[in-house]
């Protein structure tokens, strides 16, 4: 698991080798001036989506996350952040439109309660999920509905204080995998299992009984900050993880 202290500020010039996975961490609470600057980078459809949020904080976090995402991608592509165009898959997974000079760049975003993670790869499908750990959440009921029988048994065998954290570790692994595949709600969450052993990699144990599918994916837990759980899923093996901090 990547430690919080490992999130470094990168150099101004960045490359994205095919054998690397880059994950960026960003705080979404910022000054009004910085928020207005990022808002100017958004496309008309992104600005329209922002206006639909009922609560001010949700609107601000959406603007910050989308603006930062544009700035991060622009550093790899050496293009103006405001000029990037996006396309969307059948279940809404975003990608760069060919006219943006994507050159195989893949990305995914997740944000929760003022924190965001951005995962970047080249020629590898990627998904990332971030969740704030909520100790008053009815995680046992949710696990019983969506997790495999073995995962539920493993969770129930843990002390109560550890069970909640383990649930969110497992949940983010599953969500990251679903996001990487781009299946949306059409992919059943009980179709695979991830490791719940503390300190062990979150390897995919099975995917609907298809061993071949298991070998195609890697899942890695992250430690983005106190009170949060996170993970990413990426197609393939033999990659190097680098964690960056946006500022």
DSSP string, 157-181: TS-HHHHHHHHHHHHHHHHHHHHHH
pLDDT in tens, the chain (247 residues): 555 548 999 877 789 999 999 999 999 999 999 999 999 999 999 999 999 999 999 999 999 999 999 999 999 998 999 999 998 888 888 899 888 878 899 999 999 999 999 999 999 999 999 999 998 888 888 988 888 888 888 888 888 778 889 899 989 998 999 899 887 655 555 556 666 655 555 666 655 556 566 678 899 999 999 999 999 999 998 999 999 999 8
How far apart CA 207 and CA 210 sit, in angstroms, is 5
Provide the whole-model pTM. 0.90
Superfamily of chain region 130-235: 4'-phosphopantetheinyl transferase domain (3.90.470.20)
Q: How far apart are CA 96 and CA 141, in angstroms?
A: 38
Domain boundaries, the chain: 4-127+239-245, 130-235
The CATH number of the domain covering residues in 4-127+239-245: 3.90.470.20
In the structure encoding, which two tokens stand for residue 76, read together? 């790899």
Over pLDDT 70: what percentage of the chain? 85
**Phi and psi at residue 42, to the nearest 5°:** -75, 150
Long-range contacts for 87-90 (Cβ within 8 Å, ≥24 apart)?
89/182, 90/182, 90/184
CA-wise closest residue to 200 among 179, 177, 170: 170
pLDDT tens figures, 25-69: 999 999 999 999 999 999 999 999 999 999 999 999 999 999 999
Give the C-alpha separation, 125 to 128, whole Å.
11
């Amino acid at each position: 698991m990547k430690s919080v202290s490992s999130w470094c500020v990168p150099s101004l010039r960045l490359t994205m080798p095919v054998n690397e996975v880059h994950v960026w961490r960003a705080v979404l609470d910022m000054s009004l001036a910085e928020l207005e600057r990022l808002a100017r980078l958004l496309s008309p459809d992104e600005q329209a989506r922002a206006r639909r949020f009922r609560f001010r904080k949700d609107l601000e976090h959406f603007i910050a996350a989308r603006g930062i995402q544009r700035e991060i991608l622009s550093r790899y592509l050496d293009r103006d952040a405001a000029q990037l165009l996006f396309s969307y898959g059948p279940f809404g997974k975003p990608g760069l439109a060919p006219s943006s000079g994507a050159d195989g760049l893949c990305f995914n975003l997740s944000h929760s309660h003022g924190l965001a993670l951005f995962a970047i790869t080249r020629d590898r499908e990627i998904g990332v999920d971030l969740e704030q750990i909520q100790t008053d959440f009815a995680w046992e009921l949710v696990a019983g509905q969506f997790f495999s029988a073995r995962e539920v048994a493993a969770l129930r065998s843990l002390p109560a204080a550890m069970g909640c954290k383990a649930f969110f570790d497992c949940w983010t692994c599953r969500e990251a995998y679903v996001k990487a595949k781009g299946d949306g709600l059409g992919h059943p969450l009980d179709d695979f299992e991830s490791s719940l052993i503390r300190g062990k990699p979150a390897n995919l144990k099975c995917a609907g009984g298809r061993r071949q599918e298991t070998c195609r994916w890697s899942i890695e837990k992250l430690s983005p900050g106190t009170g949060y759980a996170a993970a990413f899923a990426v197609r393939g093996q033999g990659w190097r993880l680098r964690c960056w901090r946006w500022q």
